[in-house]
Structure 1
Amino acid sequence: MKSLEDQLKNLFPEHQPEETVEADIKPNIWLQNEPLICKYEKRKGKPITIIEGYNGADSDFKILAKEIKQLLSVGGSFKNEQIIIQGDYRDKIMQFLKDKGFKVKRVGG
């Protein structure tokens, strides 16, 4: 039994297969001049981390929120142009954002 590649060579003898390059394609998120603000609050006795100050597209900020939640394996939401993450993860979030190329400012605590 012939492999699929051999069968294709028989059908199309002149075809030269192109080399496929697998690139890690990440969505381009608009980087801004002003720093993002990362602050800590307690709501209903539970700690939360809030990221705000992004002035790009909401869809980019939602993508960023999803990546942060997946990185930390925690819940959170995107409301009123703020990312709200359950728990106090300021240090990890700030390092993640710096690695992405954002400027981050820590507020409170």
Structure 2
Amino acid sequence: MVYGNDWWVGSVVRYACRNGFILVGDPTRACQPNGLWTPKPICLRMCQQGIIEINERELNGTCSSTCTNKSYVGPLKQGCSRIDNCTKKETGWKRFFAQCAPCVCDCSISCVSG
């Protein structure tokens, strides 16, 4: 999806992808003085692979003991290039006192095979 309708030199438009896709590249494009646009980002379709358990620190290097709002996008991590919708795994009284919670998250990878 493209946001913006000014197509003159110096104009900037913003790109976004629909659910189930991930944006690869700069989400904005600018019309340069020579009339050419900066590179266009692409939307890469993501395929759900299931649910994984991952330590909260592995997601972004910090521990809040909640897992909520934690996510990851990038090179494969535990077989996933996108990890999101994380919740804290609640099993047993020891989990209540854990500094770095185990998270249960959705795992996705690119639908395009390399």
TM-score (norm 1): 0.23
* Higher relative contact order (CA closer than 8 Å, sequence separation 6+): 1
TM-score by length of 2: 0.22
**Structure number with larger C-alpha Rg:** 1
